[in-house]
Structure 1
Amino acid sequence: MAPAHEIAHLAHVQLFTPDPERSVEFCTDFLGLRIAGTDGDDVYLRTWDDYEHHTLTLTARKRSGIGRTHLRAASPEALRRRVDALSAAGRGIGWVDGEPGYGPTYLFTDPDGHEFGVYYESEWFTPAADSRPSLKNQAEAYPGVGVGVRRLDHVNFLGRVPADNRDFLVDMLGAMVTEQIVLNDGTVAGTWTTLTNKSYDLVYTRDNLGLSKRLHHIAFATDSRADILRACDIALEQDVFIETGPHKHAIQQTFFLYVYEPGGNRIELCNAGARLILAPDWRPIDWTEAERAKGQAWGLQTIESFHTRGTPTADELALED
């Protein structure tokens, strides 16, 4: 098992989109992100309270899905230790130059084939004059546009065997398991892990289509539940498709709304008042099949697409074959 807190936090993620212009509009007009720069097919966007250069990279591709998930190491020494461990485990790809604002990045894959990058060097964001905050302990002025999400909260991957990916995060990155779905036969159908003191940062749920390297959703945190309720009205005005919510999950007690961005990727809005894991000897919470069959803590029953749809979609993958 890797030492805890060698990874400082989930940093920035890359999404593929077949409709880049509308995906950027969604991110700026609906989510309230700001454009931090562009480079060819890549558009870099940031939340208003992110201390780093950008939070999200949108990359034009023929299909949807997740590209690379970036993690920041806690120190240069922690980075070296994680690189050595990943290399020794045969999971490493090698070093690349970081995206704008980020230093050398070591690439690796999880057991399901999702690509990650870990780095330490990072350029702290300096706001332009027209987005300078009044409060010096805030990265950038509140945008006052769309939902106004505050930060990237978590990534939920789809995987063939969630337990293999869970063990990889624990053994290679020092993650802590906080909650799980355990079926009657002992199979782990979902696992929630944290790299910080948040209750979860990286999630793996079973791909019920038996596919690999797919995304269930990425999530952005809002300041309050009221922001999520207001997001429903904004979605109505901007013709953003709401898949489900607002409801409250039993697992992790998250208040949520799920929407699709124009490229087809699922985006969650969740409350920023996330539960904290302060106990160093936290005991993972296991949820049984019977408990999960009850559905959400409250709200409507979970719809079928939530259990079957991921990106890239099965239809997109079929077109590649």
Structure 2
Amino acid sequence: MTPPLGDIAHIGHAQLFTPDLDASVGFFTDFLGLTVCGQDGDSVYLRTFDDYEHHSLVLTARDQPGLGRIALRTSSADALQRRVKAVEESGGTGHWTEDEPGLGKLYVTTDPDGHELALYWDSEHYRAPDELKPALKNQPQAKPNRGVGVRRLDHVNFLASDVALNADFQSDVLGARPTEQIRLDTGRIAGKWLTFTNKSYDVVYTEDWTGANGRLHHIAFATDNREDILRAADLAIDTGVFIETGPHKHAIQQTFFLYVYEPGGNRIELCNPLTRLVLAPDWPLITWTEEERKKGQAWGLKTIESFHTHGTPPIKP
């Protein structure tokens, strides 16, 4: 039986590996406007101004770029235990650790493709130091005076060798609700968008054309409005940030977007999906056909080839 929507409250934070830690930190602070809030060895913790927890992103030095841990906060201590039990009853395994600032114990497991997921409940609400205190008491931190000033971590897009299998794990074991999908003419599911909340999506699985496991397509940060994304494009060309594609509007989920690469090689999306919510408790799963997807984005330029081939870590020839 599919668990009730609500045991997973939201995505807490993401971890990225980077071969150039200093340059990656510079990108996320100077270009996106995140704030460094701690460091432990080769890991730097950063936060967006409107995320309420200690950190939104962990950057960790590695030889290759890629995705580390995606952390999911549960809605209660009991919800955490229910999801741990569901993981183990489904045949999955995991272990407990307490290795991140501002958080209690995390249950670390993986999806079928090998992406690392950490489930947790205990979390300290961020308290801004005097120099970062906001004027409005219902905001965790003052808006940054540099870069784009992204509001929050929005979603993660996993590359997967088997989209349907991994999406079913998110639905059947963690309680996500699928909202949209791509079905090829063969019947194979090539992409699936799922939500834990009333956002239209929190996690995405898209097919890894290489057949590899555990890779990343992108993580995404939400902006206040579309103008922020246009401003980000101008900032990118002024500061040497590589724009892969955009600004355009996706047909699937209708997200206005810009894709860039951070210096370590990971793809980052700036998105403005804030106006689209899935409020219907009986929302029907929207299926896009192969023919419909050939039309590309809702409007803007056609989808470029690298959008289907670039992932991290890179595949060695």
**Within 5 Å, which residues of 2 pair with 1:290-305?**
290-305=291-306
What SS does the aligned partner of 2:117 have?
A: strand
Aligned to 1:138: 139
Q: Which amino acid aligns with 1:179?
A: E
Give the CA deviation at 1:137.
Answer: 0.7
Q: Which amino acid aligns with 2:231?
A: R
Conservation of the 8 A alpha-carbon contact between 2:257 and 2:270: yes
Give the CA deviation at 1:3.
Answer: 1.7
> 2: CA distance between counterparts of 1:124 and 1:223?
22
> 2: CA distance between counterparts of 1:272 and 1:167?
24
Give the CA deviation at 1:93.
Answer: 1.8
CA shift digits 1:110-159 (9 cap, x unpaired): 01010100000001000010110001111100002100000000000000
Give the CA deviation at 1:98.
Answer: 4.0
User: Is 1:227 matched up with 2:228?
Assistant: yes
Conservation of the 8 A alpha-carbon contact between 2:157 and 2:218: yes
What SS does the aligned partner of 1:52 have?
A: coil
Conservation of the 8 A alpha-carbon contact between 2:104 and 2:120: yes
What SS does the aligned partner of 1:49 have?
A: coil
CA RMSD of aligned residues (A): 0.8
**Within 5 Å, which residues of 2 pair with 1:169-318?**
169-315=170-316
Aligned to 1:40: 41
> 2: CA distance between counterparts of 1:268 and 1:164?
25
What SS does the aligned partner of 1:133 have?
A: coil
Aligned to 1:112: 113
Conservation of the 8 A alpha-carbon contact between 1:216 and 1:311: yes
Conservation of the 8 A alpha-carbon contact between 2:65 and 2:266: yes
Moved over 2 A (4+): none
> 1: CA distance between counterparts of 2:90 and 2:289?
32
Give the CA deviation at 1:60.
Answer: 0.1
Q: Which amino acid aligns with 2:112?
A: P
CA shift digits 1:159-205 (9 cap, x unpaired): 00100011100111110000000001111000000000000000000
Give the CA deviation at 1:274.
Answer: 4.1
Give the CA deviation at 1:262.
Answer: 0.2
Aligned to 1:154: 155
Give the CA deviation at 1:90.
Answer: 2.4
What SS does the aligned partner of 1:253 have?
A: coil
Q: Which amino acid aligns with 1:278?
A: L
Unaligned runs of 5+ in 2: none
Paired residues in the alignment total 316
What SS does the aligned partner of 1:251 have?
A: coil
Q: Which amino acid aligns with 1:197?
A: N
Give the CA deviation at 1:82.
Answer: 0.6
Aligned to 1:5: 6
Conservation of the 8 A alpha-carbon contact between 2:255 and 2:273: no
Q: Which amino acid aligns with 2:200?
A: S
Conservation of the 8 A alpha-carbon contact between 2:97 and 2:105: yes
Conservation of the 8 A alpha-carbon contact between 1:153 and 1:219: yes
> 2: CA distance between counterparts of 1:212 and 1:171?
20
> 1: CA distance between counterparts of 2:11 and 2:99?
15
TM-score, with normalisation over the residues of structure 2?
0.99
Conservation of the 8 A alpha-carbon contact between 1:2 and 1:171: yes
